[in-house]
Structure 1
Amino acid sequence: MNLKVRIGPIATAAMCVAHALATAPAPSDIFPGRHWERRTPDAVGLSPQPLTALTNLVGGHGCMVRHGFMVFQWGDVSRSADVASAFKPLLSTLLLMAVQEGRLPSVDARVSDFEPRLNDLNAGKDACITWRHLASQTSGYGLAEWPGAAYAYNDYALALYYDVLTQKVFGSSGTEVLRTRLAEPLQFEDPYTFNAFGPADRPGRLAISVRDFA
């Protein structure tokens, strides 16, 4: 891989955003309703030229929200698509909601309380995995390292995180949990699902529109 080719556009995009934010005013407490209120970039202290340069660089679909207003967008912001690893903060938001609702005593509770098969894996090592370990990618799930000992990006651990949290803790499908905890309270406008690749594929991949994800 040519590292310069990969880093160059990212660095340029970051500079574009930094320049656009340079003259931005202090934030205010404005939140969207059923639909985003719109403002021009100039109205919230942003320069539109770097934003246009950013969209030409990255392509695809995207938007920028500033002080509770939709101020810039490109592509089809209503189109639902797989967001890949960007769904992790949403999953951990659901984890904190589970704690808030009393479904879990804390993020340091053991996952094996809800998935007892962990007690028999790796000579009992994986029985020590906590929700904090899964959320921080330090679970060591299926690996030699003990929980909390090392960071490792682990798709199998992420699948465990999603499956046990939705099915065992909330007792429902991921899409239904998303609907009741986030989509309806936040008034999502577009289709969403944790079956991004259809019902024939395993659940756990989030498809959502850009404007709802914002």
Structure 2
Amino acid sequence: MIKINPDCPFIPDIPERRGMNSEELNAAVAYAEKAGGSGCIIRHGRMVMSWGDQKQKYDLYSTTKSIGVTALGLAIDDGKVKLSDRMVDHLPNGGIPPEENAATGWLDEITLFHLATHTAGFEKTRGWCALQFRPGTGWLYSDGGANWLADCLTKVYGMDLLTLMTERVFQPLGITVGHERSGSEDLWWGFNRLDRGPLLDGINRRPMGAGIFANVEAMARIGYLYLRSGNYAGRQIVSPDFVSLVGKPAAGISELPVRGDNSHRFEKASQHYGLLWWNNGDGAITDVPKDAYWSWGLKESLIVVVPSLDLVVARAGEKGWQSDDWGSIYEVLSPFLAPICRSCR
């Protein structure tokens, strides 16, 4: 007799048996397939719909932020850091280069919370990024800020973040990790070679702004971990307290102005951003519950978690639903997310 793990998200089932309407789901998938790619929809622990190659790895771009921030959760749970910690307490030279950042007098004010919410003031670029404003006075989407967070965590643990995440997160989730982008494994995380150099004090340096390649099965497993409040198949991997912070608008940033040259592409972003995850806490997307939250990268790599509907959605591809001048244009997501959520009874 085959034993079926009720927490396994990959056993297929008919949508109606999981309380979902197939017509609505088909509409969502039809929209998704306009840009090709792969995806899957999981409800009540069963895969009710999938499309594309489930094993093909895609460049996830900024979904790396949402996966990588799990390492911050581990560090908080392990008592190694607090969100209120200053960046320079863990990384004395954090924010330099460029040297001009030191002259601002702001580096000592930057906290891990600022780095995890795009409120540190760093510009968008992935590499050595200039400070544009005083920490906590604005919101500016920054790959560089996320990379400084990764460097802090690398120093805190004194180890490669890929090693940490593989041992503590990926392996327990059943995600295979490769050492080459072209390998058959589920996930690959590149070095920060192009942005800041591949090593930090002799330790492999991983970017958190972007850099993870993965298939949608791996993405769905990560989403399922968050759906179950950090628990996977009975094992508590990251605390429910951390997960609850990730999935809702971050405290104290909703009134901050969105700054930067491309601020028009991130309209109202400060009102629906958590800890390196987007959310619908302000109800910006009609027919999607306010407790929904998601990773979001260029070309629409998405890990969507909707606790009130017991729902996880993963999607990735080589093309997206908007131009390469990417931004948090919620209208782009609505034709995909709204029918999926409406389908749930």
Q: TM-score, normalised by structure 2?
A: 0.48
- State the distance in 2 between where 1:192 and 1:122 align: 40
Q: Which of 169, 178, 198 is the equivalent residue of 2:165?
A: 178
Report the residue type matching 1:66 in the other structure.
Answer: R
Hey, which of these two has a bigger chunk of strand by percent? 2
Q: Which of 190, 211, 216 is the equivalent residue of 1:210?
A: 216
Q: Which of 71, 86, 108 is the equivalent residue of 2:48?
A: 71
Q: Does 1:103 align with 2:80?
A: yes
- Residue pair 2:121, 2:133 contacting (<8 A) in 1 also: yes
- Residue pair 1:175, 1:192 contacting (<8 A) in 2 also: no
Q: Which of 156, 165, 169 is the equivalent residue of 2:156?
A: 169
| Greater relative CO (CA pairs within 8 A, separation 6+) | 2
Per-residue CA shift, 1:131-180, capped at 9, x if unaligned?
11011000113323111111011121122122322x21222223212211
TM-superposed deviation, 1:125: 1.0
- Residue number in structure 2 paired with 1:38: 12
**Are the structure 2 counterparts of residues 199 and 99 from structure 1 closer, same or farther at C-alpha, using a change threshold of 3 Å?**
closer
Q: Does 1:129 align with 2:110?
A: yes
Alignment of 1:1-214 (within 5 A): 30-32=6-8, 36-59=10-33, 60-104=37-81, 106-118=82-94, 121-141=102-122, 142-165=130-153, 167-188=154-175, 190-195=185-190, 201=194, 203-204=206-207, 205-214=211-220
Larger-gyration structure (1/2): 1
- Residue pair 1:118, 1:124 contacting (<8 A) in 2 also: no
TM-superposed deviation, 1:111: 1.3
- State the distance in 2 between where 1:128 and 1:199 align: 25
Per-residue CA shift, 1:36-76, capped at 9, x if unaligned?
22212111011222222322222211110111111111001
Per-residue CA shift, 1:173-209, capped at 9, x if unaligned?
23212211211111125421221xx786554211111
> How many residue pairs get matched?
180
Please list every run of 5 or more consecutive structure 1 residues that lacks an aligned counterpart in the other structure.
Answer: 1-29
TM-superposed deviation, 1:123: 3.9
Per-residue CA shift, 1:20-39, capped at 9, x if unaligned?
xxxxxxxxxx422xx72221
TM-superposed deviation, 1:99: 0.8
Greater mean alpha carbon deviation, residues 198-207 or residues 176-185 = 198-207
- Residue pair 1:174, 1:194 contacting (<8 A) in 2 also: no
Q: TM-score, normalised by structure 1?
A: 0.75
Q: Aligned with 1:84: secondary structure?
A: coil
- State the distance in 2 between where 1:199 and 1:160 align: 11
Hey, which of these two has a bigger chunk of helix by percent? 1
Report the residue type matching 1:191 in the other structure.
Answer: D
- State the distance in 2 between where 1:129 and 1:146 align: 9
- Residue pair 1:36, 1:69 contacting (<8 A) in 2 also: yes
